[in-house]
Amino acid sequence: MDPFLIQLRLHLSGFHTPEKPLYIQAIRTKASSCPPLYDAVPPTTESTTPPANARPPTEFVSKRLLLVSQRTRATEPASAVLVAGLMAYEYRQPRVRGRPAVVYIEKVDSSGFGPSTATTTTTTTDSSSTPARPRSPAAALVRAYLQACLATYGTSYPVEFHVCARPQPEYLFAKSQRNPSKRILDDRQLIRWWYRQLDSTLAAARPTNPAATTTTTISSDQQVRAHWLVPGVDAREAPGILASSTAPTTTITTGTTTTTTATATATASDHPSPRSAGPGLPWTYGYPYTPDRRAREVIPQFPDDPQTRLLAKAGAARWTVHEFEELLSISEECGAGHRTGFFVYGFYGYRGGSAVDATVCSVDAA
């Protein structure tokens, strides 16, 4: 079986129960050449500056679709219904040394059907909390996909995840917005939701107990960079985006100034508290790109992405990252009262993987 599907199966096992098993349909296209993500050779983990006037190397992409169904009645296999789906692009430039695999999660959706699992949090003696179990199939699928990518690809080369959090009533399941059981998030709720999934993945891969055995573990010399940005929201306002619950301390970087800000505390049972990334591995607010670099040279241009559409406009080739961020904040998709979250989440030098119990859930691979 595909090692990726084995890892996906393993990491979904926490949401799987014998009474109501999960069924996964996985479709992946063969890797094919595609337009380059950047206008120049992008920085690598070994060099932050690409060669002058360098030609972008050939980019290869695979498109992956994951669909999860679950029984609504334990004794009736025919009662299985689609509950969650994820679509992602996985990019590689094999001839560029130190170039990370780039994963763009384009769409995540839920149908509103199927049971959910209550969130549980375990408190340890050092007053820290283990990551909460996902309370929905969509959250379970996202976390499993992230961890499967790390365990499968991260053993050979760095992995970098990109997410654009934009609220829409439906992404993959047509007419699912008509389902009264489907909970549709607004822009702030969706940004918090993505923050929580990404942060929980980091927490799961970096156990506080050194003796703990996990399937995906970040080594002591692991380099992790976690950035998030909401265009039009400055560093002082950013903690308010996460203020529906007790959020972790966030390192705020703007220009040459770096400060540490603790998010205000509020109470909302519907939004469990995100877990701090831990000492030495904070989240950084702002783009991970040098402000005076040309935007098209360092910001990847993904399909169906607001950044790509803005970078396609006349004159964009001359914009710096700083200028691009200012324009993005007043664009039709990210300004005028709309809140869109961008996440860049990189693991460099990752090592993971372990033996897998092949009975944890059923997988149908196409």
Rounded Cα distance, 288 and 310, in Å: 18
Beta bridge partner(s), residue 92: 60
Query: What's the confidence (pLDDT) of residue 32?
Result: 92
Q: Decide if 51 is inside a domain.
A: no
Rounded Cα distance, 95 and 114, in Å: 44
- Residue-range definition of the domain harbouring residue 243: 3-45+57-365
Query: What's the confidence (pLDDT) of residue 95?
Result: 62
Rounded Cα distance, 205 and 230, in Å: 26
Query: What's the confidence (pLDDT) of residue 216?
Result: 46
Q: Decide if 50 is inside a domain.
A: no
Query: What's the confidence (pLDDT) of residue 14?
Result: 75
Query: What's the confidence (pLDDT) of residue 89?
Result: 96
Counted domains in the chain: 1
Query: What's the confidence (pLDDT) of residue 100?
Result: 84
What's the N-to-C CA distance of the chain in angstroms? 12
Q: Decide if 41 is inside a domain.
A: yes
Chunk the chain into consecutive blocks of 10 residues (it has 366) and report each block's average pLDDT, rounded to whole numbers: 84 76 89 87 52 65 93 70 93 75 93 60 40 75 91 79 91 88 90 92 61 46 82 91 58 39 29 35 87 94 94 93 95 87 83 37 39
The CA R_g of the chain, rounded to the nearest whole Å, is 20
Q: Decide if 270 is inside a domain.
A: yes
Helix (H) or strand (E) holding 204: helix 187-205
The token duo for 133 is: 């179990």
Query: What's the confidence (pLDDT) of residue 350?
Result: 54
Query: What's the confidence (pLDDT) of residue 52?
Result: 53
Apex 259 CA angle, 257 and 261, nearest 5: 150
The token duo for 315 is: 């004159």
Query: What's the confidence (pLDDT) of residue 86?
Result: 96
Query: What's the confidence (pLDDT) of residue 215?
Result: 43
Encoded amino acid at 181, one letter: S
Query: What's the confidence (pLDDT) of residue 358?
Result: 30
Exposed/middle/buried for residue 343 (C-beta within 10 Å: 0-12, 13-18, 19+): buried
Q: Decide if 168 is inside a domain.
A: yes
C-alpha dihedral, 124 to 14 to 343 to 195, nearest 10°: -50
Token pair 């993959």 is found at 172
The token duo for 38 is: 């950047």
Q: What is the DSSP string of 116-161?
A: -------B-TTS-BPPPPPSSHHHHHHHHHHHHHHHHHTTTS-EEE
Q: Decide if 275 is inside a domain.
A: yes
Q: Decide if 78 is inside a domain.
A: yes
Q: Decide if 52 is inside a domain.
A: no
Backbone phi, then psi, for 102, in 5-degree steps? -110, 125
C-alpha dihedral, 286 to 232 to 304 to 69, nearest 10°: 80
Exposed/middle/buried for residue 265 (C-beta within 10 Å: 0-12, 13-18, 19+): exposed
The token duo for 164 is: 């654009």
Query: What's the confidence (pLDDT) of residue 337?
Result: 82
Rounded Cα distance, 327 and 335, in Å: 9
How many C-beta atoms surround the C-beta of residue 58 within 10 A?
13
